[in-house]
Amino acid sequence: MNTASLTMSEIRAGLISRQFSAVELTREALRFAEAENPKTNAYISLSPERALTAAEGVDRKLAAGEDPGVLAGVPIAVKDVILTKGVKTTCASKLLENYIPPYDATAVQRLEAAGGVIIGKANCDEFAMGGSNENSAFGPVRNPVALDRVPGGSSGGSAAVVAQGTAVGSLGSDTGGSIRQPASFCGVVGVTPTYGRVSRYGLVAFASSLDHIGPFGKNVDDAARLLQAIAGRDEMDATSAFAPVEDYLAALADTNVRGMKLGLPTEYFNGLESESGSLISKAIDVLKSKGCDVQEISLPHTEYALASYYIICTAEASSNLARYDGVRYTTRADADTLSGMYRNTRGDGFGAECKRRIMLGTYVLTHGYYDAYYLKAQRVRNLIAQDFAKAFAEVDAIVAPVSPFPAFKLGEKIDDPLAMYLADIYTITGDLAGVPCMSVPCGTTAEGLPVGLQILCNHFEEAKMFRLAKAYESSR
């Protein structure tokens, strides 16, 4: 069997018809991942023992005539900032290179309860900080579509494994576009659900008020299936929502979007490269042909989003990353004094981008600067959320680019942090507002580089978002 080409529904059908067993599928997936990973470096580690144990459980359920779950036998990769009991979780950092968590993240528990088989941990930017997956202590990830290009970040490994076929689905995390941008760069589907839709329990925190866990899939159906499995209230996460979870797979059965009102935010088309813009325009034309009513809208505070985001996320990062000091679960550097041990551990362990963000965040939280920077940034965030609320009072969904450009070359922007940050301009607003958003492939450039169409909906309207995405995907 060729795991690289199978979708989740095909895997389920093959298991039920006894074309193959979950154990056979898992062994093949592990073999293929091990053989192909040197090309992209998309995995930090594989977890064969855990994977085969889960697969055996799926086969036992099938033999007993029980429902094996919505993700039965599906080989899944998990971003290495999401805790996996007994399997190393490094956050792509030297500080945690030997850390083995004592418990699973809620999302991981739910994946396996739904029959999913976790085959490994996907590479990422260190502590999820970066837009190219070049900030990993274990080396950069290469885009499987073009090996001289970045896969996007910070969830670059999670997107790359799906594009490469070394996993059928994966989980990533998104703080400012870290699911949608890699999905766009690698030509797969990536979903950032509403803040609180998926439990963050067991997600190593970067910026707690912005972090989301979300799925990557080969197509809209696979992404919806993954989100169905992991969504819902969790008592272990005080920020997880009580809102009921809709049936996303049922929503995909209705692709009639005639009369749906779509907004095109004028601010999102400034600075867009012409070739990417042309592909986005063609995608919009497809939606028009499906009967959607497309109109221009304005999200006027978008121009302040970048400054607001990088103040808030660095401030929260400074606070969250203070715990990595060599005292408890990190590697430890030698020193004669306690303060020296702190200094050496953090100095040796954190990479350049983490240090940059910790210093920025510490500065904006300093007495005398808190009101001028952090408090003002939170007020701007509220204005951005109001922009979306006003827009969704007029339209059903917003469609826009994911990135101003397709995947750039490895090393092209790594020495220019501002240029890297500017690449997030179309994605950070969705995270600041906490609304669901996703990237759907909408074509490739003349060089064969994928481009993604971004769809955003109002809070907890993932079903509507999936329906629109499926309508577009089925018309391409």
The one catalytic residue in 178, 184, 276, 318 is 178
- Cα dihedral 235, 237, 241, 246 sign: negative
With a CB cutoff of 8 Å and minimum separation 6, the contacts of 49 are none
- Would you call 136 a catalytic residue per the annotation? no
- Which residue type does 79 have? K
Cβ density class 347-382: b for 16+ within 10 Å, e for less: eebbbebbeebbebbbebbeeeeeeebbebbeebbe
- Would you call 474 a catalytic residue per the annotation? no
The one catalytic residue in 21, 79, 218, 240 is 79
With a CB cutoff of 8 Å and minimum separation 6, the contacts of 276 are 401, 403, 404, 405, 406, 445, 451
Alpha carbon distance, N-terminus to C-terminus of the chain: 27
Query: In a 3-state reduction of DSSP, which class is residue 140?
Result: coil
Q: What is the CA radius of gyration of the chain?
A: 21
The one catalytic residue in 47, 93, 136, 154 is 154
- Would you call 199 a catalytic residue per the annotation? no
Please give the C-alpha separations between residue 445 and each of 153, 219, 452, 462, in angstroms, as whole numbers.
20, 20, 11, 29
What is the DSSP secondary-structure string of 16-75? HTTSS-HHHHHHHHHHHHHHHHHHH--EEEE-HHHHHHHHHHHHHHHHTT----TTTT-E
Catalytic center residues: 79, 154, 178
